[in-house]
Structure 1
Amino acid sequence: MSEFKELWPDGPIFSYSERGFALGMDSVLLSDFADRGNFSRAADLGCGTGFLLVSLLYNNPKLSAVGAEINKSAALSAEENIRANSFDDRCEIICSDLRNYKEIFAPGSFDLVLCNPPYFKKGCGYSASDEKTKIAREDLHLDLDEICFCASYICKNRGSFCMVMRTERLSETICTLSKHRLEPKRLRFIAKDEKTAPKLFLIEARLNAGVGLSVLPNLYLYDKNGDYSPEYRRIYHLEV
């Protein structure tokens, strides 16, 4: 039986089931970046065990959502997490290959689409021995171009697509988003501290939006003393 724990004090509960994947920092930061409280319907492409959905549904009582996940055990864990928080009347988990997105989603039906995609291209040298980790790490089933095409297909006009990616793929990401009429609007780099170069970035693009990108201040995880930064503590609901 799954063991549920609060994600933060007095917050939603979540099960870190062995069937699914570990909750990563990148998902937590993406949730905070995307959650601006003015969306009515959201989709998570490759939802894993459902953290992004649980977090968004908890913070936005009027939001409805759909999560798609190819891994059966992760999808089952996502369903458990949704039910445990009584969000099952507002959220559906679909276990399917995202390459079948036209069968899963209606076109233009979401004003927010999220994705924490595999960071590495297939065969790039960052492979893993087990299939589950390999799928999470490499774009074996869906590459960046296909993800952006899917997002543009299911986004409403001027709808938002938010994702996280490694900095070495920034140029590729911006070009691919633009190719599919997803205009980059917000960009934020994530760095360990002020002395360390960013390794990740968060980006929001909007379908058929005008040109104009806002580069936000860097998000630092640690301060100059090596302690968690105030923003990290806010995002993780730690006492400041």
Structure 2
Amino acid sequence: MTTMDSLFCGRLKIIQKKKGYRFSVDAAILAQYIRLSASDIAVDLGTGCGIIPLILSLKTSPAHIFGIEIQKDLAGLASRNVRLNHLESMITIVHGDMKDFKSYLTPGTVDVVFSNPPYRKVLSGRINPEAERAVARHEIKACLLDIVTVAESLLKPSGRFVVIYPAERTVDLVLHMRTSRLEPKRLRFIHPKQCSGAILVVAEGTKHGNPGLSVEPPLVIYKPEGGYTDEARKMIAE
């Protein structure tokens, strides 16, 4: 069973499973943080239903975006979404393990790599009995180090890696990025409300970049009285 959802005043249509993995606000926030130019080749590691490449297609017209997804059903769904929105010339969905990327992508040729990866370690918290959701949320098929390592291999020198991750694991994220020669250059913390602690962080790193980190003003998602803040509403555009 699937549902059809519209975003951005109907400019984008998304087919999702009624039960199983469904994209969240994290994906929309990450998409707004990614900067692409017309000549860029980009790769989405763990594309799910293809939501981030689809949103990016409305913001800009990069040379091409590859969405890699290890789960067969989700990769098929992402391909359906690409066709539904007539974006076959801009987006290619690849069903496969990101760690085997050399069978379909050449190392050192990509301008931007981005990911909304599984957040939770396998032994932390309850693993969802729904297999599709479990793989999307827990590091069952790929861990943070895998994702950062693949990103570094794919990127050109000075290429950019953009990721959204739990704020409580910011130290792990920054450590793995720097160890993998993806120098952290921008951080922005995401807060559910003005008076709440950060729950997510968006980070951007540059391959072989020089040290120097910009911590940007926080993004607050909800107003005190309820509903999205103006900035969050523009990002999510439901």
Q: Which amino acid is 2:230 matched to? A: P
Give the Å deviation of 1:126: 3.3
Q: Which amino acid is 2:81 matched to? A: N
Corresponding residue for residue 84 of structure 1: 84
Question: What is the CA–CA distance in structure 2 between the aligned matches of 1:227 and 1:59, rounded to whole Å?
Answer: 24
What are the equivalent positions in structure 2 for 1:53-132 lying under 5 Å apart? Answer: 53-132=53-132
Question: What is the CA–CA distance in structure 1 between the aligned matches of 2:201 and 2:37, rounded to whole Å?
Answer: 21
Does structure 1 residue 134 correspond to structure 2 residue 134? yes
SS in 2 for 1:22: coil
Aligned residues of 1:117 and 1:164 also touching (Cα < 8 A): yes
Aligned residues of 2:38 and 2:61 also touching (Cα < 8 A): no
Q: Which amino acid is 1:52 matched to? A: I
Cα distance change, pair 61–218 in 1 and its aligned pair in 2 (3 A): same
Gaps spanning 5+ residues in structure 1: where?
none
Count of residues in correspondence between the two structures = 238
Aligned residues of 1:99 and 1:141 also touching (Cα < 8 A): no
Question: What is the CA–CA distance in structure 1 between the aligned matches of 2:137 and 2:43, rounded to whole Å?
Answer: 21
Corresponding residue for residue 180 of structure 1: 180
Corresponding residue for residue 236 of structure 1: 236
Farther off after superposition, 163-172 or 93-102: 93-102
Aligned residues of 1:120 and 1:126 also touching (Cα < 8 A): no
Corresponding residue for residue 194 of structure 1: 194
Give the Å deviation of 1:85: 1.4
Farther off after superposition, 8-17 or 24-33: 8-17
Cα distance change, pair 205–126 in 1 and its aligned pair in 2 (3 A): farther
Farther off after superposition, 13-22 or 159-168: 13-22
Q: Percent identity?
A: 28
Q: Alpha-carbon deviations, 1:98-131, whole Å to 9, x = none?
A: 2212223210121111111110111123312222
Give the Å deviation of 1:38: 6.0
Gaps spanning 5+ residues in structure 2: where?
none
Give the Å deviation of 1:237: 2.6
Q: Alpha-carbon deviations, 1:6-29, whole Å to 9, x = none?
A: 311142222123486211110010
Question: What is the CA–CA distance in structure 1 between the aligned matches of 2:177 and 2:3, rounded to whole Å?
Answer: 39
Aligned residues of 1:57 and 1:63 also touching (Cα < 8 A): no
SS in 2 for 1:193: coil
Q: Which amino acid is 1:85 matched to? A: N
Q: Alpha-carbon deviations, 1:158-186, whole Å to 9, x = none?
A: 11111111111111110100011000011
Cα distance change, pair 19–57 in 1 and its aligned pair in 2 (3 A): farther
